[in-house]
Amino acid sequence: MPLDLTSAANRLRDLYYPRLYPIILGFLSGFSVFYFLYTFGAYGIQKGLSYSGHSHLFRSISFGLLTFAYLTVFEAWLKPKLNISQLSHTMLWYLSLVLLGSQLIFLLFNFFWNWQEWNPEAYWLIMKEFPLMVVLPLSIYFVLKRILAPQKPNAPYFTFQSKNGKDQLRINPHYFLYASSSENYITVVYTSDGQRKQHLIRKPLKALEQELKVYPEVERTHRSYLVNSRNIEAVKQFKGKVTLEVNGSNIPVSKQYQHHFLKG
């Protein structure tokens, strides 16, 4: 089978672009803060040395690095743990990030001026100007995510292909039950003509998860399992352990994924 360069490029995009999103957000916002401080004197920043002995350039870079660091860490580390998906929760998340950034900037601002600016006037100045400086980079970030987001294919099949491309299985999404992994092999469990069947392919489960990421019904439940949520017949909880009943099989759910299946 000839190598499908377009498919390979799309898989690489879907695998690596999400990892770059937090860095893009941090860089755009950090640079924006630095630019407005150093070029336009935002916050009423003074050009000379601060009480702490730091120059205008050093302080501008510091504010930019602080913005870059906290946004990148929170977007890359904390947001995935919170499983934020709804639009209202997403908007609340970014509003919270902007509010947190204002507090951090206010603390760093006071550090440079030996806490002589610990007053309501300075606080509200930063609370007003910091959101104005990050609204543009946030907007650019949302547009980039929309452009780079993987598009759901029109083909009415899930395609399971081995790592070398020599073995391929196409399944109607309705009939796919789950996939389980053992070392570098995946067992795809599905139904055909009312019969339960299995197909073994050589591929890491993580790679398959990335390929099926555009299908929200395919969900990770465990480090070794992907499940078609449409075919979950029951969610069972016993002594702190959660399992899913799928066509007679009990699929384990790791603690980090339990809240998603128990939230209903």
**Number of C-beta neighbours around residue 150 at 10 A:** 15
Distance CA 130, CA 103 (A): 10
185-214 confidence digits (pLDDT tens): 999 999 988 889 999 999 999 999 988 888
Pairing label, strands 176-182, 185-192: antiparallel
Question: What percent of the chain has a predicted confidence (pLDDT) above 70?
Answer: 89
Distance CA 147, CA 42 (A): 31
pLDDT for 87 equals 81
Q: How far is CA 179 from the centre of its chain?
A: 23
Residue at 98: amino acid letter: V
Q: Is 45 helix (H, G, I), strand (E, B) or coil?
A: coil
169 within 8 A of 160, measured Cβ to Cβ: yes
**DSSP, res 184:** T
Domains in the chain, CATH or no CATH each? 5-148 (no CATH), 158-262 (2.40.50.1020)
62-119 confidence digits (pLDDT tens): 999 999 999 999 999 898 878 676 788 889 999 999 999 999 999 999 999 999 999 9
Q: Which residues pair with 179 in a beta bridge?
A: 188, 226
SS3 content of the chain, % helix, strand, coil (to 5): 55, 20, 25
Distance CA 48, CA 189 (A): 68
The Cα angle at residue 37 between residues 143 and 93, in degrees rounded to 5: 40
156 exposed, middle or buried (CB, 10 Å; 0-12, 13-18, 19+)? Answer: exposed
133-166 confidence digits (pLDDT tens): 999 999 999 998 888 766 555 557 888 988 887 8
What confidence tier does 16 reach under pLDDT thresholds 50, 70, 90?
Answer: low
